A and B are shown apart, each in its own frame.
Chain A
């Protein structure tokens, strides 16, 4: 069964601190992995897409890593800001790429 699991479920950090979110997946065949940010009451917004051959990709203060051998990915947020408070969801396409399988997300709260 195709599954995407994330940890931690929730996280509270102080503004300016760094954090790392984890994603484990069991999807076959694998083509790419995506991280989305979802603000409360809004739709998910793509942060980064990593293909099979990519190990690291950065988007501003967000850096994603991928280990296709262990089927693990991480999202590192540097110098967190209050606006980073959101749910971060790990997503892997399945079914030929037309269907996305979402993790349950990590709810991040950044506090003063």
Chain B
């Protein structure tokens, strides 16, 4: 399978804990995106990388959120001191230049 891969698919954690998600994009794609989707809503843009450079961050990405793409391949999204409101589906997408975005199946985060 050469699509966008996200791990884990599901994460349940207690409030206050830190969590980290991983995204492996399609190998030839230089652009990588993170989105958050809550129940009944469309995805909301969080951040965007071109190769290893993080070029844009949404105001939704508070100080507790950090994303990295150290070698321009896979990316991680970390949430520190999780809160109830962080419960959502976190989607990763990748694309080539001027190409449509291909999405992974997301990581569903549940905060107890």
Contact = CB atoms under 8 A, between A and B. Distances in A.
A25 B42 CA distance: 14
A42 B105 contact: yes
Interface string B56-78: 10100000000000000000000
B42 A98 contact: no
Count chain A CB atoms within 10 A of each CB in B31, B42, B100 and give the residue with the most: B42
Contacts of A4: 42
Contacts, number: 52
A43 B104 contact: yes
A43 B56 contact: no
B40 A43 contact: no
Contacts of B55: 98
Q: On chain A, which size bracket covers the interface?
A: 20 to 34
Interface stretch (A14-22, A44-52, A61-69, A74-82): A44-52
Q: Which interface class (under 10, 10 to 19, 20 to 34, 35 or more) fits B?
A: 20 to 34
Contacts of B104: 43
Contact of B100 (A34, A42, A89): A34
Interface of B: 4, 31, 33, 35, 40-45, 48, 55-56, 58, 91, 93, 98, 100-106, 108
Given A43-B106, A98-B56, 18 more contacts: A34-B100, A41-B106, A41-B108, A43-B93, A43-B104, A44-B103, A46-B100, A46-B101, A46-B102, A91-B42, A98-B31, A98-B48, A98-B55, A100-B35, A100-B43, A103-B42, A104-B41, A105-B42
